């Protein structure tokens, strides 16, 4: 793999982030801080702790995961959609670089932005609640794997979308609801048995649960199930991207 084109694409995408710092970094951090204030005041006063963890600390992994999923998808989808919209995608496709290098450049930049945001929000949360990370290596592993996987998903959405409105369709109507219903702000053990069974069909539950386990050693599902789910997501996304470049789906006229 030639690292020069990868670096060029990566640096161009990161430079775009620096030009839109208010939208790319500041806005998500402020939004997440508001979640702490609202949920801490409205719900935290009624729920003292869950599984031995204070409610404010309990929702931190869920809030980070909510931001991580939505921002990874949004960053990657816009990153590849804009060259399509402007027509510069054909210059990239005709350049002497492989499809792998294109994907690594765009997805690597989107994942890097999300990981930086996740770490910033993790640091910010310390101003609101005391935190402990029982398994820091696993925490970073889940953070990186989730950012890369959903950046790949965002890359697929950016190629599929034929308008700016479709870029937000999946994050707003699919990713965000699944995250809210995936145990980000509560333990699924608090639900009636029927709804627990329904909730386990939500794949985001496994991501949030595994990430929370890395903080406090508690989870709604097993660590093995969480790791398996994220690896299945990763494999499926890679397979779809391979098919897209092999067939030229929405890339070639």
pLDDT tens digits, residue range 107-137?
999 999 999 999 998 988 888 888 889 999 9
Cα separation values, 100 from 106, 128, 238, Å: 10, 42, 10
CA distance 32 to 183: 16
How far apart, in whole angstroms, are the C-alpha atoms of residue 106 and residue 80?
7
Q: Note the pTM of the prediction, 2 decimals.
A: 0.91
User: Would you kindly state where each structural domain of the chain is located, as residue ranges?
Assistant: 3-247
Task: Please provide residue 214's backbone torsions phi and psi, each rounded to the nearest 5 degrees.
Answer: -65, -20
Q: And the tokens for 104? A: 């690594």
Kindly report the length of the chain: 253
Cβ atoms 97, 2 nearer than 8 A: yes
Q: Beta-carbon neighbour count of residue 130 at 10 Å?
A: 9
d(CA 90, CA 226): 39
pLDDT, tens digit, 9 for 90 and up, residues 157-192: 999 988 888 888 888 888 989 988 998 888 998 889
């Amino acid at each position: 793999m030639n690292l020069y084109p990868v670096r060029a694409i990566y640096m161009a995408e990161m430079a775009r982030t620096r030009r839109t710092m208010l939208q790319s970094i500041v806005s998500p951090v402020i939004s997440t801080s508001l979640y702490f204030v609202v949920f801490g005041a409205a719900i935290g006063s009624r729920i003292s702790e869950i599984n031995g963890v204070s409610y404010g600390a309990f929702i931190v992994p869920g809030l980070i995961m909510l931001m991580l999923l939505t921002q990874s998808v949004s960053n990657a989808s816009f990153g590849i959609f804009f060259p399509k919209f402007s027509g510069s995608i054909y210059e990239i496709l005709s350049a002497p670089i492989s499809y792998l290098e294109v994907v690594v450049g765009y997805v690597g930049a989107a994942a890097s932005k999300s990981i930086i945001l996740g770490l910033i929000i993790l640091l910010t949360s310390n101003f609101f609640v005391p935190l402990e990370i029982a398994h820091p290596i696993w925490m970073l592993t889940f953070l990186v794997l989730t950012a890369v996987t959903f950046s790949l998903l965002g890359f697929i959405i950016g190629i599929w979308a034929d308008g700016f409105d479709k870029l937000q369709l999946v994050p707003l109507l699919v990713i965000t609801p699944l995250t809210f219903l995936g145990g980000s702000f509560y333990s699924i053990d608090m639900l009636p048995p029927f709804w627990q069974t329904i909730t386990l069909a939500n794949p985001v539950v496994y991501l949030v649960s595994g990430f929370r386990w890395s903080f406090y050693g508690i989870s709604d599902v097993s660590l093995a199930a969480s790791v398996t789910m994220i690896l299945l997501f990763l494999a499926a996304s890679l397979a779809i991207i391979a098919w897209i470049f092999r067939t030229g789906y929405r890339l070639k006229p």
